[in-house]
Structures are given as C-alpha cells and as structure tokens.
Structure 1
Amino acid sequence: MHFKHLITTALMALAITAHGAINLTASQQSAKEKGITLYNQYKPSEPELRIAAEAGDAEAQFYLAEELRQKSQYITPEATKWFEAASAQGNLYAMLRLARSEGDLCATMNNCSPGKKTPAEWLKQARELAASKASKGDAEAAYVMYLATAELEWLEKSAESGYALGQWLLATRYKEGDGSFLLPWKRAEAVEHWAKESAIGGNPKGMMEYAAILFEKGDAEGFRHWNEQAALVGYATTVYGYGSDLAHEPDTYGFPYDVVKGYALIYLLKELDGGGGMDANVNDKLPKIAKKMTPEQIDEAKKFAKEWKNTHPPLSFYPDKLGY
C-alpha cells in the first residue's frame, strides 16, 4: 500500500472518530439514497451503495455488506470487511450480523473470513453499546438489545419509548404468545394497543396489523383507512392490494370504485422489475383491470402513476435489517 494512501486512510479514520460520521457530497448522498431504495425493493443495489460506502458512510457500508452477503448467500470476505467498517463506526446491526456469523453458511462450509473479533466479542460489543444508548432513551437501541438478547423486556422498553418498528414487533410477539397476561382479553388488548401505536407512528406493517384487527372487529372503514395509509408510504404489497381493491378486482372491502387510480397503482409496481416477485401479480392483474377501461382511461392512469411516484415515498417492501 502506498504511503500516500496510508495517510489518506488514517485521516479518514480520524474524521470518522471525531465526528461520528462522514459528510457525503451531494452525489454520494444521492447514490446512498438510491442504493437503499433499490435494496428495499429487492433489486441490485451494489454500485450505488459502494459509492457511499467507499466514502466512509457507515449505513451504506452495512447495506453494501448485506447486499454482498445475500448475493452469495453467505458472509464473504468482502462483506466481512464492510460489516467491520460499519461496526467500527458504531453500527449495531453490522455488529449483530458479525455476531451471528457462527450460524452463517460460511461456517458450514468452513470458509468464514477470519475477522478482527470473534462472534462472541462482537455480540458483547453490540450489547454494551446498545445498552448504553438504550439507558439514555434511544428506543431503537433498546430494539437492537432485544434482537441481541431475545429478552422481551427490551422490546417492551423500545415500544414504550415510541419506536414504531418495535411496537409492531411487540404486538406480533404478544400475538404469538410471548409475555404474561392474567386475563386472556388483556393479551388481545395489548396486541391492538401496540399495533395501533405502531400505525400512528408510521410503520406500514403496524398499519396493516391494526387494519386487520379493525376488520375482524367489523370496522371496515378503519381497515380501509389504514390500508390506504400503508399504500401512501409506499408499502409495495399494500399498494398492490389497494390498487386491486380500488379497481374492484375483487371488491372485498368496500373501497369506492376508482378504476383509473387502481390501474395506476398496479402499473406503478412495474418499476420493481420483478423485485419481491411482484411481476407475476402485476402481469396477472393489469389485463383484468384494463378490460374495464377505455384507452383514454389507461393513458390517464399512466400519467397518474407518474405523478404518484413524484409525490410519494419510493416503493419499498420494508424488509427487516436482519431479516434473512
């Protein structure tokens, strides 16, 4: 390695230590945002993420490592490098991924890259940092502590501190039977409470969980409201369902008939280019809706889809950071 490169690397490390993060240029930030959008759509995102990762951005380093890991189906040496780079900047999810490497396919194949620390050491570091942050009111850190320990108390703390993803997961865990309740209906009340809080907090999975609860209670209007809210934040699976409902393909939940908007939302999903296996659904649904429309209405719907894309968050499957 050239001396000049060593100096540059050292200066970059100092900048990270001093400020906690790298300040990206406008183009690097744009690449990072595009990369994360593509990642959340289950589309290839490596080139965009690499730009920001090489500039020193910890979040981009984590996502790049995940992209590399998922593409190879195990933690490759390069993925290890980026996980460790993100961990060095305090990225808790990167630490946990390294901590879980003993269960990775590379362990089965006996070709895991020798890292700077053992999985046990990474787990210890993640727990210590997350606990410290959680003690200062960091709700996401409490959520990470739950992921690191499987202790429900941490997830409850995260939910109580207002972390919407933690609230949805707590509702899910209660629904699955975790936690103790003296009376059976108290469990159901807790599930509904945290699903509602998550929905209000903006998490689309919480929105859909709460919508389902309301529908089971006979509140179809409440279901329709939260279904629409989940579509508005770009939750791809709900965009598909919402579009189908508006076009009455089928008419299950009593949505007002709007064939133009319904077609537009299904058409919008074509930009996923098969991400998440959505292409089969789209290719099946669009012709059925088109049969109800004039050519002019289809043109109008395509314009509506373009306008929606420009005025709403990007489509996303909202995958869990350590989901698979």
Structure 2
Amino acid sequence: MLFSGTDIVLIALMALLIDRLVGEFAYIRHPVILIGDAINAFEKHLYQPSILRGALLTLFIVGSAGLIGLAIQWFLQWSLGNLPGLVTLIITAVLASTLLAHRMLHDSVLNLLHTDRPQQALQMLVSRDTENLSQSDCYKAGIETYAENLSDGVIAPLFYLLLFGLPGILVYKAINTLDSMVGYRTERYEHYGKVSAKLDDLVNWVPARMTALLIMLVNVKWPLWGFYKQGKRHDSPNAGHPITAMALNINCQLGGDTIYFGKLKRKAFFGDETSSKVIQKAHVIDCLSNRTRIDNLLYGLLIFSIIIGNIFAFIGSHHV
C-alpha cells in the first residue's frame, strides 16, 4: 500500500486534530528530545569549533532523521499493509501529530497570564535573558514566541509533511532542533552551528511567509503583504515576518533591544508606529485568539483539498 496525495492530506488533517485535542503524549519520550539527545551525544564526543565539524553534525542528524522517517513509513505502508487502510492512516497521523506543537505552544504562552513569576515560565520558551524582564517584556517575549513558533512548530512541519510525508516532517524537525541547540552566534557555536543555522533559514523561508500571510488573512488585514517591509528588518530572514504580522493585528509594537547571554542586542521594532510599546494581558489574549481561527482555516483548506482530490480521482477512474 502506497500513500496517495489524498492520503497524505488526510494524515495531515488528522494530525492537526490530534494535536488540538490531545497535545503532547506525556507518557512517551518526545521525538524532539530524542533528536536533542543525539545532538548532545555528537557534541560531547566530536565537537570542534569548526564549520566542517558542524557540517558533519548536520549531515549526521538530518541524514539519520531521514532514514528513520523512511524506515517508519516503509514499516507502516508495507509491514502493516494487511491492516485496513484507515487504521494505517490513523497510526501515521498519531506519529505525525507528535511533531506538531500548536496546543503546547498556545498553552505555554497562556501560562504567562496565570503565574506570578512569568520570568521563570518564560525561561522554557526563549533564549533571551529573562530574570530582569518586566511583566510587559515577558508578555512581549511570549507573543513573539507564539508568532515565530507558529511557523516553526505548526506551519513548517505541516508543509513538509504534505510535501514528503513522515520523512519530510522528521527531517524538518531535526533541522529546526539543530538550529535551536547550536545555531547561536556565541564563541562556542559561531562556526560549529553555522551550517545548521543556514539550513534552518533555508527550509523556513517559505513557511515563515506563509505563516505571516495566514495571520493577516484570518484577521482580515489588508494588504495581506503589509508585514513584509518591516519583517525584513529582523536579523533573521524569516522570524520578522510572522512577528510583524502579529504586531499589526493585535495593535502593539514588538521587538526592540533585547539581552541574550548577558549582551545587549539592538533590534528593530515591528508593528504600527502609533501602537503601544507597553504590552498588556489583552495583547496576549488577542494573540492567542488566532489559534482557533488559524486551525479552522487549515482544517478547511485540507478538507477542500481532500474533496477536490477525490473528485479528480473519481473522474479519472470513470474516464478510463
């Protein structure tokens, strides 16, 4: 049994629904943690502050993820081929859902509103220094995290799942995890993490812009491409676009100077220049309200694709 294009779209739809309803499977070791363990093991034994050694790390992790993804897909499609087709699709969707993170992302940012120590809650979400952040700064960091990771944790993995199946989403998460662990411009990772960081920029180029467009679309904000000019100001070629789109739609200014690893980094502001730079609870609530609208739009697009695919398949079978 080979998955058809319509099968992959159905898997993506079910994976999104599972992530929405269930979220993380707390009783299993998360695939991203396993990828992180492999990255740490490579670094422990083979680290050198060179681009070549970092390239070998990237090749090893990404190649291993691709091979594991292909092996899992082969097992599901061939070894389980005698199972009813829907059962195999559901198993595949459950596995794919572990690599989507919309519910976890939403709940993690929402937690900032329900804790007396948002600085501590934020430590698990961002790489910036959090201990001296004001409440407004914590809320701003949470909104930026939601906007940026809406691409990294939802749209991009879904995009590569639709294009390449399980191997695609697993390879993407491997690249993204590499960037989050070694893709920093610090003394230790400046050279070692360069290939990982550049590869992450490349694979996120399309999904980041798709994410910004989705944010504008679900908020009926025109022109849809209005985020682009400001989004280009960000040091990252990708992160600025969904962050700008979110700022424009919840009427605040995000960005600004930020401290990373004890050093001040100058950053541009994103959003309407007349909007407030003081971020309040209402801004976080407005940001998180995008979750349902974006999910519903994705469900609709995937269902529409399945219907169109079945129509064409029906016409093709009868034409023959």
**Which category of TM-score, normalised to the shorter sequence, fits these structures?**
under 0.3
Higher alpha-carbon Rg: 1
Instruction: Calculate the TM-score normalised by the size of structure 2.
Output: 0.26
